[in-house]
Amino acid sequence: MKFPHSFLSHAIVCLLVVLLSGLNTSAFASEPKKPEPVKEEKKFKYVEEDGESARGYTYKRVAKDPFEEPKPVPKEEPKPPPKAESKDAHAKDDGHGKPAEKKKDDGHGDGHEPKKEEKKKDDKKKDDGHGGGHGGGHGKETKKEPPTASTLYSSDIIKLDGNNRPFTAISRSTKMADYYLCRDVVTTKFRTIVLNEMNTFADRMGLPRAQDKPCMVKIAKPNTKFPGAVYIELYPDERAAVACMQLGECGSTRLVMLFPKDKTGTHSQDIFRSYVLTDERKYQRGAFCVSPQGQLLGEKNCYVLINPDWLFN
C-alpha cells in the first residue's frame, strides 16, 4: 500500500517534534533539584529567672539587647581654600617666556579705560558749591545741630526742649500724663527750693512731709484740663508714689505746676509755682501760689490769681 507523498512528509515532521520534546524533558529531569534555603530560627535570650509555669511550659521574659553607645566620629579637617589664580596667568606671552605687561594710561587718550579705584574716587567726590567737586568740607560729615531749648522755661530751673518736654526718656506713662525722672531735668537748686516750700505748706496743713525721692517731672497729655502743663511731683511715701504712677490713683500727692506768666516771649521765663497738696485719709486739699521771686501770693491756684476775671474768659 502506497502512501501519498504529503502524508509521509507530515508524519516525519511529527516524529521529529516528539523526539525533540522527549530529549528536553529528559534533560530537565536529569538536573538535580536546588536545595531550598534553610530559614534560621531567631534565638531569643531570656532573663535568668525561674519564670512562670503554665500548660506544661515555663515562660520567661525576653532579655533586651545590650545598648551600645555610639562611637564618636572624628571630625574631618577643613580643606584648604583653593588658591586664586593670579591675574597675570591669562596674560599673553611676549615670546621670551614672560607675560607681556599691560601698558599704563599716560593720560593722552590711548583708548585704555581708567582703573576701578580711580572711578570710585571720582564717584565719591561731591560738589562743594564752588565747582571744584571737593566734597564740601573735604569728606567730613556735617555736624548735627543741637536740639533747640524751650523758650518758655529757663534752663536754670528745668531743662526742656522746644516742645517743652524733657530731653530724657519717658520713665512711666499713664492715660493722663508722661512721667520723667527729675535727675538731669530739674536743677538741684530749684529742686531744693520746691521741696522746702512744699514741706512748709504741708506743716501748715498738718500733713506728712514730702520725701526728696522719688521725684518725677509730669507732662500732662492732651485729654487733660491743662494739656502740655509741666509739673514736679513728690510723694509723702513709697505707697503713694506707686499708687499714683502705676495705678493713676493720686490721692496723696505733693504737686507743683510750673506756670509761665505769659507765652508771648516778653515775660515767658517768669515762672510761677502753683502748689497742690492732697491727703485722702484726712480729706484735705490745699492750693498755694508762689511768685518767681519766692513770695506767697495767696492760697489759690496761680491761674486764678494772675487772671482775676478767669470766670468771664
Rounded-to-integer distance, Cα 89 and Cα 79, Å: 24
- Residue 34 falls inside a structural domain: no
Decide which of 193 and 63 is more confident: 193
From the list 245, 246, 223, the residue with the least C-alpha distance to 233 is: 245
Q: Is the pLDDT of residue 143 over 80?
A: no
Rounded-to-integer distance, Cα 118 and Cα 125, Å: 11
- Residue 183 falls inside a structural domain: yes
Q: Is the pLDDT of residue 181 over 50?
A: yes
Task: Report the predicted TM-score, pTM, of the whole model to 2 decimal places.
Answer: 0.52
pLDDT of residue 199: 92
- Residue 220 falls inside a structural domain: yes
- Residue 147 falls inside a structural domain: no
Decide which of 265 and 225 is more confident: 225
Once rounded to an integer, what is the mean pLDDT over residues 16-28? 62
The neighbour count for residue 258, using CB atoms within 10 Å, is 23
**Residue 222's domain spans which residues?**
172-312
- Distance between first and last Cα of the chain: 157
Distances in whole angstroms, Cα of residue 170 to Cα of each of 39, 113, 152, 158, 159:
82, 58, 21, 16, 14
pLDDT of residue 106: 52
264 grid coordinates: 508771648
pLDDT of residue 135: 45
pLDDT of residue 6: 65
pLDDT single digits (tens) 55-75: 878 877 877 777 667 777 777
- Residue 33 falls inside a structural domain: no
Distances in whole angstroms, Cα of residue 28 to Cα of each of 16, 23, 79, 100:
19, 9, 62, 82
- Residue 42 falls inside a structural domain: no
Decide which of 36 and 130 is more confident: 36
Rounded-to-integer distance, Cα 308 and Cα 311, Å: 8
- Residue 204 falls inside a structural domain: yes
Domain total of the chain = 1
- Residue 304 falls inside a structural domain: yes
Give whichever of 14-18, 29-33, 111-115 has the largest mean pLDDT.
14-18
Decide which of 301 and 12 is more confident: 301
pLDDT of residue 110: 52
Once rounded to an integer, what is the mean pLDDT over residues 278-303? 87
- pLDDT band at 36, cuts 50/70/90? confident
pLDDT single digits (tens) 233-276: 998 888 888 888 877 778 888 899 998 877 765 556 788 999 99
